[in-house]
Structure 1
Amino acid sequence: MSQSCDIPGTTVPRDRFPLPDSDLATESGATEERLVLAGGCFWCVEALYQAVEGVKAVTSGYAGGSAETANYKAVCTGNTDHAEAVEVRYDPSVTSFGELLRLFFSVAHDPTQLNRQGHDTGPQYRSAIFYESEAQEVIARAYIHKLDGAGVFRAPIVTSLEPLTGFYPAEDYHQDFAARNPHQPYVMAVAGPKLDKLRDHFGDRMKSDHQDED
């Protein structure tokens, strides 16, 4: 694999994409932590994190708005405060908050696109980290500052940091969508390349049952 700068809009290759300078401290004996992220269509962000070693479960859903508007029909209007988001539950003895953030910025989406990802437009497709502790906020904010300061992206990062006031699982038909519909055109066009990049550049962070998939 070439070591050239192969992330559109960045100045570094994925293989050398920096980690945060600090990571989330985990209580001794803890077996599960949670991270809620938004980076465009939740089908494809979900598919990426499901393939990451140490991730125990990923749920597609809505974050940023109220329970009353946490449904696909309402969120698609762009008139709620919700983003399509994923809840990532992970084993902190295998992976970490910082490592999952690195994959978020380097593979999962383009954090320089405001209220859109590719052809998906609207605030429901915004780039966001929904923090549920001061420590998560501090680490994420410092990481964005580091990436911007180092000029890793050729445009400023627009990822918002928002307090997690609630995460609402999406309708059943959205869960495991890419895994259940691997030949659906959107999945092939968007999720497929993300998984290829994860396999090519962060293969050591990938679950063994995903490493050899076409």
Structure 2
Amino acid sequence: MHELLAQLNAVPGVVGSLLCDGEGQLLAQAFPPAVDPAQAERAAAVLAARAPGLEAAVGKAALADFRFAGARVVVKGLEGGGQLLFLCAPSINLPFLTMSASSVVKKLERAVRERPGRPGAGALHRAVQRVDELILRSGGDRFKLRGQIALKAGFALDLVDPDSPDDPDKLKKLEAAATAVLGQPFRAGDPTP
């Protein structure tokens, strides 16, 4: 991921960049040595903490541009969670940055989604598979029970596949719906009995 950030830093006006996941964990950073690595970690945590409030205030934004006297901070939200932050010169050409970053952003989204050891990677898909196993063991009508769970959870279980991004909110809704419909406690991370 560091190599991809280095490509982005080659865009004229970009001073440095960082990538963090939706929980605020710093995944990679490419800043000049003058930037304290602890500041990059704090920036990642702040991004994750403030993103829900910003989204509630202005809706889902593809790009946020913060202007300061001596710099600009540009934040790009990634599909499936996570943020890409650019520290830029005040005169950055934002359309050029956006265009230059478009191909690298797709690679970063894939790298974030598929990184080894990612906590919860594929958790939503595995949880839906566990629901299917529990329904099968119960001997109940699979179509009916899946439909009831989907209605309570607020999303179609058939649309969840291995590439579906993990969404903690969806996992919680699935846990509550499966618990209510199946009549037994369902936790997304528990092994199937």
Scaled by the length of structure 1, the TM-score of the pair is 0.23
Greater RCO (CA < 8 Å, at least 6 residues apart): 1
Scaled by the length of structure 2, the TM-score of the pair is 0.25
